[in-house]
Amino acid sequence: MTKNKEPSSRYDYVILIPTISLVGLGLVFVYSASSHLAAHRLGDSYFYLKKQGLFCILGLILMITAKNIPYSFYRKLVYPLMGISLCFLIFLLVPGLGHKVGGAARWLKYGEFSFQPSELAKFSLALYMAYSMSKKGSNMDSFSTGLLPHLIVAGTFMSLIVLQPDLGTAVILGFWTLIILFVGGVKFVQLFSLLILFIPVLLGLVWHADYRLKRWWAFLNPWDDPRGIGFQIIHSFLAFGSGGIFGAGLGNSKQKLFYLPEPHTDFVLSIAGEELGFLGIACIILLFAILLMRGIKVAVNAPDLYSTYLAFCLTCLIGLQVLVNMGVVMGLLPTKGLTLPLISYGGSSLLINLLSVGILLNISSRT
């Protein structure tokens, strides 16, 4: 007679190795990329490093807390978090509440600190999808049960994000939703048809916004206007190219000296490429690969359908953002204004990603 296996109480601490390493590298490169900029703008070269360091501490506390909270607890938070996220996204559209940077109201600001509601929206949507799909189970292949309700919820969030405007995040959420629904059991024909219908809408949004068209032309041929729309991506190319195999050395980047705009956020990987070279970038890619593979392993070995979906939703969300950011800085995708998880400057993103890692750790202990 075989005995029933008891759930393991051991955490998959291998997940922590790439997570802590990437957060540490993030601090190094946020300082390296932003020190001259911060000294020029704010008179304090450590300004961005201090803020990112504070969010690192808060994020690690959040991760440790999430590690010790049973993942089943998040079922109770699904609808409250969805409501809060929805309210925050609506607040951004109210004149005077949304803090504008570069013409886009993507932040709610209080004093010196700002918060990006779209990061909370991604997380709450992941909780909802996992909860809803596990509840529907084998009925996910039905259009009215599997595709339609999830499409309405995700579409509402995506629409509010587009209105900020932030088309890049909305597109990533759209592709993430298609992947998650496919894994959940929605028929491929339904998802493919939805994708075909979605493409004209996306092209229309790009066509009717001048700055989006410029990003598209810059992606297709940045050298046509090297001092205009192609400026940012060309200097990203120069950063990677000058890094060579071994890099110029930590702190020796030239592109961060007011050539590459906002090098500590979306294009921090370009600075890493210049200072660490090909080998450094290969190590960063390897760390992300380990994190994502362990996340998928946690999902595969999870004890029930809900935790499987939850682990996969969170892992896929991190993975898609990594792929898109790397694609953008290397000129493989149009510029989207998306940060690199765990490395780029940005408190909201860092907190949510470390919270996600904490949940993965908790699920791994219930294998």
The string of pLDDT tens digits covering residues 6-45 is: 444 588 889 999 999 999 999 999 999 888 888 888 888 8
Token pair in block for residue 348: 């909201």
HSE-CB of 132 using CA atoms within 13 angstroms: 25
pLDDT at 153: 94
Report the side by side order of strands in the sheet with 113-115.
Answer: 98-101, 104-110, 113-115
User: CA 303 to CA 4: how far, in whole Å?
Assistant: 13
Among 52-56, 150-154, 215-219, 283-287, the minimum mean pLDDT is found in: 215-219
- In the block, which residue shows the tokens 């998650």? 180
Position 103 pLDDT exceeds 70: no
Token pair in block for residue 278: 């090909």
Nearest one of 171, 132, 122 to 316, comparing CA atoms: 122
Position 158 pLDDT exceeds 90: yes
Q: Read off the pLDDT of each residue in 252-268 and give the average, rounded to a whole number.
A: 85
pLDDT at 102: 63
| Helical spans, DSSP H, in the chain | 16-42, 47-67, 74-91, 117-136, 148-162, 167-184, 188-207, 210-220, 231-243, 268-301, 305-329, 347-364
Q: Read off the pLDDT of each residue in 275-301 and give the average, rounded to a whole number.
A: 94
Q: What phi and psi values does residue 252 have, to the nearest 5 degrees?
A: -100, 15
- Output b/e per residue, 14-37; b: 16+ Cβ within 10 A: ebbebbbbbbebbebbbbbbbbeb
User: CA 122 to CA 204: how far, in whole Å?
Assistant: 24
276 to each of 10, 34, 48, 223, 337, how far by Cα in Å?
A: 35, 17, 21, 26, 23
pLDDT at 7: 47
- Domain range list for the chain: 13-364
Q: Read off the pLDDT of each residue in 230-250 and give the average, rounded to a whole number.
A: 87
Beta strands in 91-222 (DSSP E): 98-101, 104-110, 113-115
In a 3-state reduction of DSSP, which class is residue 108? strand
- In the block, which residue shows the tokens 């070279």? 277
User: CA 314 to CA 362: how far, in whole Å?
Assistant: 13
Between 308 and 333, where is the model more confident? 308
pLDDT at 9: 57
User: CA 340 to CA 325: how far, in whole Å?
Assistant: 6
Q: Read off the pLDDT of each residue in 242-270 and give the average, rounded to a whole number.
A: 86
pLDDT at 2: 39
- In the block, which residue shows the tokens 């690690």? 60
Among 49-53, 77-81, 191-195, 251-255, the minimum mean pLDDT is found in: 251-255
Q: Read off the pLDDT of each residue in 43-71 and give the average, rounded to a whole number.
A: 92
Position 119 pLDDT exceeds 80: yes
Asked if residues 179 and 316 have their Cβ atoms less than 8 Å apart, the reply is yes
Asked if residues 302 and 363 have their Cβ atoms less than 8 Å apart, the reply is yes
Position 358 pLDDT exceeds 50: yes
Q: pLDDT exceeding 70 applies to what percent of the chain?
A: 96
Q: pLDDT exceeding 90 applies to what percent of the chain?
A: 52
pLDDT band at 151 (very low <50, low <70, confident <90, very high): very high
Find the angle CA(147)-CA(150)-CA(156) to the nearest 5 degrees: 130
Helices (runs of H) and strands (runs of E) counted in the chain: 12, 3
Nearest one of 180, 159, 179 to 169, comparing CA atoms: 159
Token pair in block for residue 61: 């506390």
pLDDT at 1: 36
User: CA 230 to CA 220: how far, in whole Å?
Assistant: 10
Give residues with Cβ within 8 angstroms of 201, minimum separation 6.
none
Burial of 255 (0-12, 13-18, 19+ CB in 10 A): buried
In this structure, the dihedral spanned by the alpha carbons of residues 142, 201, 107 and 41, taken in order and rounded to 10 degrees, is 140
Written as one letter, the residue type at 22 is L
